[in-house]
A = this chain, B = another copy of it.
Amino acid sequence: MPRSAILAVYRVRGGKKEAEGLAREIAHEQTVEIPEELVEAGIREAAVGTVESVRPAPGGAFDVEIGYKPALSGNQIPQLLNLLYGNVSIQRGVRLMDFHIPPEALARFHGPNHGIVGVRAALGVFGRPLLATAIKPNGAPLERLATLARDFALGGGDIVKDDQNLAGETLAAFRERVARCQEAVEDANRGTGRRTLYCPILTAPQEEIEERIRFALGLGVRGFLVCPMLVGFDQTRLIAQKYRPVLIAHPSLTGTFYGRPDHGMGPGLLLGKLFRLLGADASIFPNHGGRFPFSKEECLDIARRLREEWPPILPALPVPAGGMRFENLSAMGEEYGQDSVFLIGGALLADPDGVERATGKFLAKIKEKFRERLKAPASTEAVSSCELPSSNGAPLSKAEHLVFENFRWRGRPAVEYKKSRELPFEGVARHELVGKDGLKTAFELRYFEIAPGGYTSLEKHAHTHTIVSLRGSGVLVKGDRRVAVKPLDIACVDSMETHQLRNEGSEPFGFLCIVDRDRDRPMKP
């Protein structure tokens, strides 16, 4: 099945005969999980993996290549991991060396949103390695953490990320800290004219992760630090795919995968290829010669797997880190080249000249070797009548309720907004009723009123609309159908259904609209 199969390469111990036997065992264990002798022909063809090759490998081991039908992975990360190394991980002496996904199946996976070029465009920095630092130490006053972020940005640093140990804080503390650090970096950016990126950490209870993301995005945050082993491989993929931030992966808790050379998988495969597949635009790993036991070969293997051609998965940035010093910057530039990020932690904090000047020195050292180029990125975001950013009125306090009077609710004025060229609309007023004001809901309730002759944007999106008509009469255009609605009729718009609401009457047409709080942006039909 080679061309159309998912190929997994395992290195196994023992002689050739043993390796061949083990290869057959793996092919069964990972697919049908019953002994070979119980498998009849139909099932063998439908599901069992095929042994594609058994070849000698260094150190007297053998590399066995197993082909799996792509459907067995369901084109989803969790089951792909199960297929490649689920039960086999419990065997000793079997290491996953690599995997290959055929193009048509690979296209179903997501990969980085921005990749190397996109991250550079977001920063406006080309031609040289990027400089990053971490906000630390945990336990320091917020003021000091925010100052560190500001000073690093003032010194010309490119990316400042949270320390992964900061994540024990409550949601409220997260909000406060992220607001302060983002403000500090933006403040510095206004001074320097640069676009230093602040990336908060997203280690949190599952229920809170998206709330933290939305909060941070609302502040203008454009990137996040994620530990895939802590929050889950597929949660990482979801964050990338749903919110499209610049995503930096951190290796916390990954060490057991590469703790021994004849088991697990190498850091290149895990922190490089797999994290890239999850959607990491950059992946942090301990540089060799620092306080963690990575070899130079392992580090360069990570960098290679992050950056090599793997269409349609974009290339990502290697981020060597851990015990990095001024003295080894030149060697690192030599080793990793310009498309990399150097993460400097303690050495910046320890510099007697302070963080801003230390950052400048590190940057100057990088520029000795690489010529920086600046280029403005082009930004193209769609806005529609129902998705424009709004600032809401007073919060719906616990005691209060929204008193109705003549199709208005006290404390809920219409939201003003500018027209969009992408998704034009006319005569639409929006009132945010519930969901934007602190009450914890999975939905938002809004009231729209369309003036006679007005209409909403003609658009579609993955989320659905539920509409309860309240006032006047209107027409809901759904695909090529027209549905006339009168007060208290309820209508829905399905996922990806092109739709528009029109007022063809002579009175205002008003309706409640309920949407999921987590939803995608509207797009043109």
Contacts and interface: CB of A to CB of B under 8 A. Distances in A.
Given A33-B165, A230-B81, A231-B234, A441 B516 contact: yes
Interface in A60-107: 71-74, 76-79, 81-83, 85-92
Interface string A164-199: 110111100000000000000000000000000000
Interface stretch (A11-19, A368-376, A463-471): A463-471
A404 B265 CA distance: 60
> Which of A46, A76, A293 is most buried by chain B, counting CB atoms within 10 A of its CB?
A76
Contact of A259 (B207, B264, B401, B464): B264
Contacts of A404: 469, 486-490
A338 interface: no
A494 B441 CA distance: 10
A517 interface: yes
A72 B470 CA distance: 50
Given A169-B74, A401-B483, A254 B82 contact: no
Contacts of A203: 76, 78-79, 82
A207 B234 CA distance: 9
A38 interface: yes
A331 interface: no
Contacts of A485: 401
Contact of A490 (B286, B434, B443): B434
A455 interface: no
Interface string A426-456: 0000000110000111110100000000000
B72 A403 contact: no
Nearest to A262: B259
A349 interface: yes
Nearest to A259: B263
Interface string A39-69: 1001100111000000000000000000000
Given A232-B233, A404-B486, A293 B138 contact: no
A206 B233 CA distance: 10
A78 to B, nearest CB: 4
Nearest to A467: B401
A382 interface: no
B232 A139 contact: no
A155 to B, nearest CB: 18
Contacts of A25: 291
19 contacts: A33-B136, A34-B345, A38-B349, A78-B167, A86-B165, A86-B252, A87-B252, A89-B253, A92-B259, A206-B237, A230-B233, A259-B264, A398-B478, A399-B481, A440-B463, A441-B443, A442-B443, A443-B516, A468-B512
